Every structure is written in structure tokens, then in C-alpha cells.
Amino acid sequence: MQSLEQQLDYPFGDTLPAIGTTLEVAPGVRWLRMPLPFQLDHINLWLLRDRLDGVAGWTIVDCGIANDTTRTAWEQLFANGLDGLPVLRVIVTHMHPDHIGLAHWLTERWGARLWISASEYNTARLASSSITGFGGDDTARFMASHGLVDPASQQKIKARTNYYANLVPQVPTRFRRLLDGDRLVIDGRDWVCHVGHGHAPEHMSLHCEALGTLISGDMVLPRISTNVSVHETEPESNPLRLYLDSLLRMKALPADATVLPSHGRPFIGLHTRIDQLLAHHEERLADVMTACAEAPQCAADLLMILFRRALDLHQTTFAMGESVAHLHLLWLDGRLTRRLDADGVFRFARA
């Protein structure tokens, strides 16, 4: 990973904004970070200087999870980092809790509108109101059908019945829809929406040609590969194919854009990083093909092949979804066959 990082340019070096403060990364664009209670311990958020309906203020891009720590950091920023101006709108790239968690609180706090794609909004509303989102019996059964059958993991997954709602207790009741190709005029500059699939249903990245800046959300991250998972609600989906196709479309954006990712540091080298991510997944797909040629494999069998390290339960659930995604791409491409064995587990073999 270090050698891959050396192929990217980090214009701000190791400088990071302290919690509750900002760092300007382009004219009218400020970077802030909020803590996360996971191994991935932060999310990058963005403030864009704006003018809406003749009123000067700020647009927020992404929100952080809904907890007191994040609210406190936002209040500190409101007191010291907005130059006395209001928040005019809240843009959310996608529905994952670290991005939309505090959207309801922020929009209520400022009387601002949420801007988000319709698929992300409706998925968030459904998950927030469900006691089984990202856990519970349905998730446990899905994981078992792909080989995660040990009793301890099954019990923990079944017990995690309100995971999403704990991090996203409310979603705004109204929103402004974002579509691929939309041009948002923010402080007199166009920001163009670029849709991405696979990581989330209808993820929106934002590119400003005038500033040479891309808010990439989770579609392109500098140090880690974005999670791409099959979930129990769409059990035959092919999200990895959708994600790889989305990355290829993003190569139409300028190679020298300053990329503002949701995790990690801002960097220059968009095309280089896309090529790295494409190569990473091709290597993993080749590993899966090799394993399935030797003997039929379920997703759980492939965890150590794909991730090559010990995983806790939180990491295992994400890893399982990604393992299934790699198997599904090869299965739906016709390179693997799938069968449901007598033990209720799907196994894949070379076609």
C-alpha cells in the first residue's frame, strides 16, 4: 500500500484539520473531520461557501453519524468556523450512516433543505425506520447461506437488530432530488453531479471544473478500497460490476483534479488511483477463480484469501458482503457456476 500511495500527490501533506476546525483546500471550500467509533475512525466533511436565493452562507456536504460527540464538534464549528453566516443547504453523497446520520439534525437546526439522490434518500428512510436494517434474522440467514454458520457469529448478527437506526435515528421528511449530470450553482460556480453505483444505490460525487476539485465521497479513496457488498435485500445483485463500471466512467473527469475523499487525505492522481483500484479487484477476482478451480467455495471460505488478516465481527459482515460480490461478478459473467448444497450453503465452482 505504501508504494501505491507514493504514486499519488498529497498537496496538504500530513496536515489535518483538528476536530471543530476547518482547513481551506480551495477557494470557498473548507475541509473538516469528524470522529467515528469504528476502526475507520474519521470521516471528512466539506463546507462550501454559497449564496442561495440572495442569502450568503454555507453548503454542508455530508454530516457524520448521529451521536453527541459529532453534535458537539458541529456546535464548536458553528460558533467559530462559519464567519457568522448560516447553513443554507445540506448535500449528502449517499445513505451510509457516517454520511447521512446527522442530516435531520442539521436541516432542522438551520432550516435548510437536504439534497440527495432519490435512491439514497428512500433507502435511508426505509433502513432508519426498520429494526432489521443491516442485522437481525434476515441478515443472519443470508450470511449462513454463504457459509458464515458458526454459532457465535450467528448470535451476534441476530442480536444486531437496530444497527442503522442507532446511527441514523431520523431522516428528513423532505428532500431535493439530485440526478446524474445535475449542475448545482454554488457561490457562482458549477458543481456537476456524477453518479456511482455498487458501494451504494445512487451515490453522488461532485466535480467543480472551475476549482479543479472533485468531492469523491466513498467512490474513490486514497488508502483503502471502498466496500462493495451484496446484501440480503438484493441477494442476487452484482454490485462489484456496477462499481467497476462506475470507476471507468469517472476516468472522464480530469486526471489532475484535487480529490476530496470521505476518508483519508485529499490527493491528486484520480486516474492513477482508479487504475490501482481496478487492478486490486482484478487481482482478487483472479484469486477467487484460482480457489474455485481447485474446489467449490462459499463466500466464508474466501475471507482469508480476499482479506488476508484476522477480522472482528463488524469487519466480517462487511467482508462477507464483499466476498459474495466477487463471487457474483464471476458467476453472473458465466465464469463460475453456483449451486445450493444440502447444508443450505451456496458454493461456486469454475464453469
Residue corresponding to grid cell 442503522: 164
Q: Give pLDDT tens digits for 140-170.
A: 999 999 999 999 999 989 988 888 899 999 9
**CB-based contacts of 17: which residues, under 8 Å, 6+ apart?**
23, 31, 32, 33
One-character DSSP codes across 114-146 = EEE-HHHHHHHHHHHH-SSTTSSHHHHHHHHHT
In this prediction, residue 198 has a pLDDT band, given cuts at 50, 70 and 90, of very high
Centre a 10 Å sphere on the Cβ of residue 179 and count the other Cβ atoms it contains. Answer: 11
Instruction: Give mean pLDDT, residues 81-85.
Output: 95
Q: Tell me the three-class secondary structure of 243-285, residue by residue.
A: HHHHHHHHCCCCCCCEEEECCCCCEECHHHHHHHHHHHHHHHH
Instruction: Give mean pLDDT, residues 204-226.
Output: 97
* pLDDT, position 133: 57
**Span of 108-117, 161-170, 244-253, 326-335 with lowest mean pLDDT:** 161-170
Contacts for 244-249: CB closer than 8 Å, 24+ residues apart: 244/198, 244/278, 244/281, 245/197, 245/198, 246/195, 246/196, 246/197, 246/198, 246/219, 247/196, 247/219, 247/220, 247/274, 247/277, 247/278, 248/274, 248/278, 249/194
Residue 329, C-alpha cell as written in the block: 461478478
Rounded to a whole number, what is the distance in angstroms from the first to the last CA of the chain? 33
Instruction: Give mean pLDDT, residues 172-176.
Output: 98
Helices in the chain by DSSP H: which ranges?
Answer: 2-5, 68-80, 97-100, 103-110, 118-129, 137-145, 151-159, 163-167, 239-250, 270-294, 303-307, 313-332
* pLDDT, position 136: 87
* pLDDT, position 311: 82
* pLDDT, position 203: 98
Pairing of strands 189-196, 183-186: antiparallel
132: closest CA among 157, 152, 95? 157
Q: Which amino acid, 335?
A: R
336: closest CA among 308, 307, 310, 299? 299
Cα separation, 32 vs 46, in Å, equals 6
CB 178 within 8 A of CB 115: yes
DSSP-assigned letter for residue 105: H
Does 4 have pLDDT greater than 60?
yes
* pLDDT, position 61: 98
Instruction: Give mean pLDDT, residues 89-105.
Output: 98
Instruction: Give mean pLDDT, residues 37-46.
Output: 92
Residue corresponding to grid cell 446520520: 101
Does 20 have pLDDT greater than 60?
yes
Instruction: Give mean pLDDT, residues 9-20.
Output: 95
CA gyration radius, the chain: 21
Does 107 have pLDDT greater than 70?
yes
* pLDDT, position 13: 96
Sign of CA dihedral 36, 39, 43, 44: positive
In this prediction, residue 244 has a pLDDT band, given cuts at 50, 70 and 90, of very high
Does 189 have pLDDT greater than 60?
yes
In this prediction, residue 109 has a pLDDT band, given cuts at 50, 70 and 90, of very high
* pLDDT, position 313: 77
In this prediction, residue 310 has a pLDDT band, given cuts at 50, 70 and 90, of confident
In order of their start, the domains of the chain are 2-270 (3.60.15.10)
SS3 label, residue 51? strand
* pLDDT, position 1: 53
